Amino acid sequence: MKINNIPFGITDWSTIEPTEHIGATGMALWRTRTFGDLRVRMVEYSPGYLADHWCSKGHILLCLEGELHTELADGRTFTLSPGMSYQVADQAEPHRSSTTTGARLFIVD
């Protein structure tokens, strides 16, 4: 990733209006900032959330609160707790997320 033409700035995530995204079960609230081609998000998944699709977009994701389960299309599964992260490239390995307890994430893609 190469980051260009973004001046120094501060984001108070509490001031960013959330958008609601319904999953197969549960829902997610996204607070999003976009800087050119770079999308930066604070995402909150409700308890019982399950993504309604397999995602092929690349991300760098940091779990801030709760527990996040990530399933890859090949059947592997991973669990993130606060302080853990994952990274995956665009079109590399389709993945989908779920949580039983809820989770708050910081995501760059």
Total count of residues recorded for the chain? 109
Residue 75, in any domain of the structure: yes
- pLDDT at residue 1, rounded to an integer: 67
Residue numbers of the domain that contains 55: 17-108
Residue 12, in any domain of the structure: no
The one-digit pLDDT tens for each residue of the chain (109 residues) are 678 888 899 999 999 999 999 999 999 999 999 998 899 999 999 999 999 999 999 999 999 999 999 999 999 999 999 999 999 998 999 999 999 999 999 999 9
Residue 7, in any domain of the structure: no
- pLDDT at residue 5, rounded to an integer: 86
Give the total number of structural domains in the chain.
1
Residue 9, in any domain of the structure: no
* φ, ψ at 13 (rounded to 5°): -60, -25
Residue 102, in any domain of the structure: yes
CA distance linking residue 79 with residue 67, whole number of Å:
7
Sign for the pseudo-dihedral over CA of 23, 47, 89, 3: positive
Which region holds residue 99: left if phi is over 0, alpha if psi is between -120 and 50, else beta?
beta
Residue 24, in any domain of the structure: yes
CATH number at residue 21: 2.60.120.10
